[in-house]
Amino acid sequence: MQLNTFILLTILAIGLPSCSSNSQSIELSCVEDLDKIVLNPFKDLNKTQFLLNRNLLDMTDSVFLGDDQVEWNGKCFYLGDDLIFIVENNWTQKDSISTIQILSPLLRTKKMIGVNSTFGDIIDHIDFDTWKNFPDGYLMFKDKSNSKLVYEFESSDSIDLGNMPLDIITFPKKLRITAILFVK
């Protein structure tokens, strides 16, 4: 009799958070759907379920460590073994969402831009004047119509961007997006 009561209480305890009126479920059809959470407190992610193609994403907590030994928190969202996106706070504002990194080609923008899209594919959708070049080989451009979207490219070792004029015409069209950042 006591074992049955324990099992019933365990089932109720596990089921209660998903039955809470404070929880929300968000079906992701495009990257822009993440705008619904960007201004929410970071802790509210524990009450949010994300679905992609009607599949529930698994969430894990993470701690990130920067080059300068600064730590910040994140939550990683998976579909099976595939990391779909990471939601991060930052070291100065731990209670709010700072950045969302989309790392999977399964989640695309409304314009169908995603991880693995090439510079040539999206040239009409980026603001070339916003480009930033980082010493570790990453390049970033903002979206023309949505400044919250930033496209990150990793330049390969075979392309020496330091010795070429960088304008929209000469920029290598085959560079691929490695991540899409959704920022506040």
Q: Are residue 87 and residue 124 in the same domain, yes or no?
A: no
Q: Contact, 114 vs 121, CB < 8 A?
A: no
Q: What is the pLDDT of residues 68-111, one digit of tens each?
A: 888 888 999 999 999 999 999 877 888 889 899 999 999 999 99
Q: Which of 73, 102, 131 is the last residue of a domain?
A: 102
A 10 A CB-CB count for 60 gives 11
Provide the residue range defining the domain that includes 89: 24-102
Tell me phi and psi for residue 72, to 5 degrees: -145, 165
Q: Are residue 125 and residue 98 in the same domain, yes or no?
A: no
Q: Which of 54, 75, 102 is the last residue of a domain?
A: 102
Q: Are residue 125 and residue 170 in the same domain, yes or no?
A: yes
Asked if residue 18 belongs to a domain, the reply is no
Q: Are residue 131 and residue 74 in the same domain, yes or no?
A: no
Q: Contact, 177 vs 113, CB < 8 A?
A: yes
Q: Which residue is listed with tokens 């085959």?
A: 174
**Count of domains forming the chain:** 2
Parts of the chain with a pLDDT under 50: 1-21, 158
